Amino acid sequence: MDETKILLPESQIPTHWYNVVSDLPAPPSPVLHPGTKKPVTPQDMLPLFPPGLLEQEMSAERWIKIPDEVREIYRLWRPSPLYRARRLERALGTPAKIYYKYEGVSPAGSHKPNTAVPQAYYNKIAGTRRIATETGAGQWGSSIALACKMFGLECTVYMVRVSFGQKPYRKSMMQLWGAKVLASPSDQTNAGRSILARDPASQGSLGIAISEAVEDAATHEDTRYALGSVLNHVCLHQTVIGLEAREQLKIAGDYPDVVIGCHGGGSNFAGIAFPFVADKAAGKAVRIMAVEPTSCPTLTKGVYAFDYGDTAQMAPIAKMYTLGHDFMPPGIHAGGLRYHGAAPLVSLLAHHKVIEAKAVGQLACFEAAVQFAGTEGIIPAPESSHAIRAAVDEALQAKAEGKPRTILFNLSGHGHVDMAAYDDYFAGRLEDFEYPAAKVQESLKHLPQVAL
Amino acid sequence: MDETKILLPESQIPTHWYNVVSDLPAPPSPVLHPGTKKPVTPQDMLPLFPPGLLEQEMSAERWIKIPDEVREIYRLWRPSPLYRARRLERALGTPAKIYYKYEGVSPAGSHKPNTAVPQAYYNKIAGTRRIATETGAGQWGSSIALACKMFGLECTVYMVRVSFGQKPYRKSMMQLWGAKVLASPSDQTNAGRSILARDPASQGSLGIAISEAVEDAATHEDTRYALGSVLNHVCLHQTVIGLEAREQLKIAGDYPDVVIGCHGGGSNFAGIAFPFVADKAAGKAVRIMAVEPTSCPTLTKGVYAFDYGDTAQMAPIAKMYTLGHDFMPPGIHAGGLRYHGAAPLVSLLAHHKVIEAKAVGQLACFEAAVQFAGTEGIIPAPESSHAIRAAVDEALQAKAEGKPRTILFNLSGHGHVDMAAYDDYFAGRLEDFEYPAAKVQESLKHLPQVAL
């Protein structure tokens, strides 16, 4: 077995998603309505999400069938390759084996289409005509635009104004796939107009963009909302990553000692990790590690508590690790890792120590990404570089101990559309940022009071 | 056989490149020294190219072994997938089968690393310390930077100044892979300084950048030059594309009626086409089509004659289709298709009607690219869109005739770094440009007088 890339035929695209709810160490907490603070009902959510997705959001079934129409589109890029990073291993002089699952092969260049496609599908069969969503850096917006195009849905993306200006290529990708892209705050929603009235020069935030997209969906009969991370059904869809990786490692005759994913809202991490959580629940010895930026240390410095999903306190309240819903992270380049909260499922697993978490500074991440690009060739997305940093650290530790170790990480996307971040790194314009504990304490004073 | 992607294992990366010189309908013409206008000798070229590449440049051997060190790096992305474009076929309602070979899976996002890697390798074993080269839009520059990084060579890229400003992401990729990128004209060479003395605001041209890179290599003992297209050895290296595609079509139980590649200098076209030229020479019925922009119609409107390889008349003189070395193409977005000449091997095959050529306007190309991205997902590079246009036209013709047709085209790269081109297209800022025949006639008056 000396392949660089371990490939699977399309017949081995998973037939079912794996639902980690069936293997949790404790029952998940209910999600609460932001107004009543009572558990949300499917009726509350039906204006926003189609029945197929709501069912998955609430499901405790272990395996959920992937519709043929979704697998048909997955075939455009799945199964994604599993690489053995031999050139990186040699450069590090490590006895460790490093494997990475590469999700940058999707048309949008990241793992996001794994959930965008089923989200568009379930909307299509529910009669949705248009999807409204928000995007920060643009990875999610471009993926849902692609998926809507595939199923003939219209798509409106509220893009955080600062990214709208700074990430023109992502905006162009959305437009190419037929989406209407609006800089948020926009004048199309009450939420947007009220922000603009107070601050006409507002650069926007993900929280504001979420408010706009949700309002758009809630006030239009034929329109529903879509979210690219955090929610149970999003994590569910991403499990194709880990399911494939496990099969590919079998072909290589290997099993990981440690499984690593970068962590923002939690979806790419859940994708690589959850199938190994199942193994761990069944008694396998495997470490599972979420890697986040020190500038947004949700899992390592936040608290496990009920909090709003968004800044505007309009999204449901969920039990999760949070830095406080009014937390404002600094403008690091890994735009996908700047969420104040974390997926409730990931949070529960972290709280019960099924998974571990680690925070890394962005300079060390870019350093690892540059070494990776120089050995393996692929230019990583800034988000993915966090997983690389942790994988390299594991490999160096194995070297220091003189012991073998098998490392698997998820390379969630390529960085061709994020080259400005590398420019800033090489020009010395980036610095590390440790989020001050006192500031977290301040944010945490604003957590909602709930009866549970 | 209903796979969307036809994959080969790494063991089926070709072991040899195919040299079309063994199947030409006439012997190739000699290449002439720009000063003496006598055939160039290996001695003339040794300051610029290492022996391994010069040997290949002159070789008539049918098969040339690919060094293990090169195949080892090819494994990072090769064999590239062959796709059956079922969703595009359905959208067109055509009875034709459309296959495309996708070269955008390389770390640089195009076919260029197929030759960059062996060029760096042969330089490395010849003791070259540094490679100097030029780049226009940056596809080549980023690929040779990657390859130099892989073999521990230094790399200096003279990048046409207008692209240096307009294509910052390509520049960043080169820098990430360790190359030094200079805006051309630069103050580092006599060629650059003399241009700047006359026109300090010069935006540069590929011709000027070539002159700078050649001068750099010729004046530094430890430095050699590298070219990303046109030359025989470059076309040779790219034949891995067509060799793989032929094997993949065998798996699908198919053989193409027509093979299509976009054409600038000729390398990606040669890559997909030459192995089928071998089949045609052996009696197979197959049409082979080069597709160029109407704004730079070298094969369709140029003449087959001896001309300089560069504007500055410093590069060797070769027999090829040319629009005249002082031809200045308009600034279309397919920057890789703006060369005044064509690969001598492609030119000879076109002159003897072994291959056919077609020119298409850029608006029709972008239209096809948008349809392609909306059905197949992948966003094509503007260059590759020319091949898509021709493939779609073939499929529509098959539909009009109500007859099946098997079409193979090369999707030479993705467009993630070229989204500005799509913006311009959607904003209506692009127009078609037919190069006026009178202007070609004017350029052709300046062809060199040679004794042959």
Q: Is residue A114 part of a domain?
A: no
Residue contact A416–B109, C-beta within 8 A: yes
What confidence score (pLDDT) does residue A33 get? Answer: 95
The answer to whether residues A183 and A201 touch, using CB atoms and an 8 Å cutoff, is no
Element housing A154 (H / E): strand A154-160
Q: How many A/B residue pairs have CB atoms within 8 Å?
A: 116
Distance of CA B360 to the CA centre of its chain: 17
Confidence of residue B33 (pLDDT cuts 50, 70, 90): very high
Task: Kindly report whether the peptide bond that precedes residue B95 is cis, defined as omega within 30 degrees of 0.
Answer: no
Mean pLDDT of B393-421: 97
DSSP state of B110: B
The answer to whether residues B152 and B124 touch, using CB atoms and an 8 Å cutoff, is yes
Average pLDDT over residues B289-307: 95
If one counts the domains in chain B, the total is 1
- Residue A73 inside a domain? The answer is yes
Which of B5, B170, B425 has the most A C-beta neighbours within 10 Å, making it the best mutation to test the interface with A?
Answer: B5
pLDDT of residue A332: 66
Is A219 a domain residue? no
Q: What pLDDT, in 10s, does the model give residues B421-440?
A: 999 999 999 989 887 888 88
In this complex, do A423 and B76 lie within 8 Å of one another by their Cβ atoms? no
The per-residue pLDDT of chain B, averaged, comes to 94
Instruction: Confirm or reject contact between A181 and chain B (CB < 8 A).
Output: no
- What confidence tier does B137 reach under pLDDT thresholds 50, 70, 90? confident
Task: Check pLDDT > 80 for residue B388.
Answer: yes
From A177's Cα to the closest Cα of chain B, the distance in A is 6
Beta carbons within 8 Å of A401's beta carbon, 6+ residues apart: none
Lowest average pLDDT, out of A71-75, B5-9, B331-335, B447-451, goes to B331-335
Flag whether B418 is in a domain. Answer: yes
How near does any CA of chain A get to the CA of B149, in Å?
6
Which of B4, B169, B423 faces A10 most closely, judged by CB atoms?
Answer: B4
Calculate how close chain A gets to B1, using CA atoms only, in Å: 11
Asked if B426 lies within 8 A of A175 by C-beta distance, the reply is: yes
Are residues A172 and B422, on separate chains, in Cβ contact within 8 Å? yes
Task: Look at residues B196, B143, B137 and name the one whose alpha carbon lies nearest to residue B164.
Answer: B137
Cα A174 from Cα A159, distance rounded (Å): 10
Q: Does A373 touch chain B (CB under 8 A)?
A: yes
Nearest Cα residue to B227 out of B346, B141, B332, B293:
B141
Is some CB atom of chain B closer than 8 A to the CB atom of A76?
Answer: yes
- The shortest C-alpha distance from A27 to chain B (Å) reads 39
Contacting residues for A253 by C-beta, under 8 A, at least 6 apart = A1
More confident residue, A295 or B90: B90
Is beta strand B356-360 parallel, antiparallel or unpaired with respect to B287-293? parallel
Q: Which amino acid is at A143?
A: S
Comparing CA positions, the residue from A168, A73, A98 lying closest to residue A408 is A98
B176 touches chain A (CB under 8 A): yes
CA distances (Å), B365 to each of A42, B213, B343, B431, in order? Answer: 47, 32, 23, 11
Residue A222, in any domain of the structure:
no
The C-alpha angle B232, B238, B243, rounded to 5 degrees, equals 120
With beta carbons under 8 A apart, name residues in chain A contacting B175.
422-423, 426
Burial class (CB in 10 A: 0-12, 13-18, 19+), A255: middle
Q: Is B106's Cβ below 8 Å from some Cβ in A?
A: yes
How far apart CA B451 and CA B160 sit, in angstroms, is 34
Q: Omega into B185 within 30° of 0, i.e. cis?
A: yes
Cβ partners under 8 Å of residue A78, min gap 6: A10, A13, A114, A240, A244
Task: Specify if B60 maps to a domain.
Answer: no
Q: Which residues of A touch B376 (CB under 8 A)?
A: 76, 107
Asked, for residue A277, whether it belongs to a domain, the answer is yes
- Residue B281: per-residue pLDDT: 97
- pLDDT less than 70: residues of chain A: 1, 331-332, 452
- Sequence-separated (6 or more) residues with CB below 8 Å from residue B43: none
Q: Is B190 on the interface with A (CB under 8 A)?
A: no
Decide if A85 is inside a domain.
yes
Q: Which residues contact A202 (CB under 8 A, 6 or more apart)?
A: A161, A185, A195, A196, A208
Q: Is the dihedral of CA B430, B434, B436, B442 positive or negative?
A: positive
ipTM comes to 0.96
Mean pLDDT of all residues in B140-161: 97
For residues B352 and B326, is the Cβ–Cβ distance under 8 A? Answer: no
Query: From the list A10, A370, A422, which residue is nearest B3 (CB)?
Result: A10
| Any B CB within 8 A of A197 CB | no
CATH number, domain with residue B353? 3.40.50.1100
pTM of the predicted model as reported, rounded to 2 decimal places: 0.97
- Do residues B383 and B264 make contact, with C-beta atoms less than 8 angstroms apart? yes
Strands (E), B169-230: 180-184, 223-225
- Are residues A359 and A440 in contact, defined by beta-carbon separation less than 8 angstroms? no
pLDDT at B38 over 90: yes
Residues of A in contact with B373 (CB under 8 A): 107, 176-177
What integer pLDDT is reported at residue B136 of this predicted model?
A: 85
| pLDDT greater than 70 at residue B331 | no
Nearest chain B residue (CA) to A2: B10
Contact (Cβ atoms closer than 8 angstroms) between residue B359 and residue B332: no
Residue B1 has pLDDT above 70, yes or no: no
Six token digits for residue A432:
């590390």
Cα dihedral B399, B401, B402, B408 in deg (nearest 10): -50
Confidence band for B349, pLDDT divided at 50, 70 and 90? very high
Domain that includes residue B358, residue range: 5-10+67-109+233-444
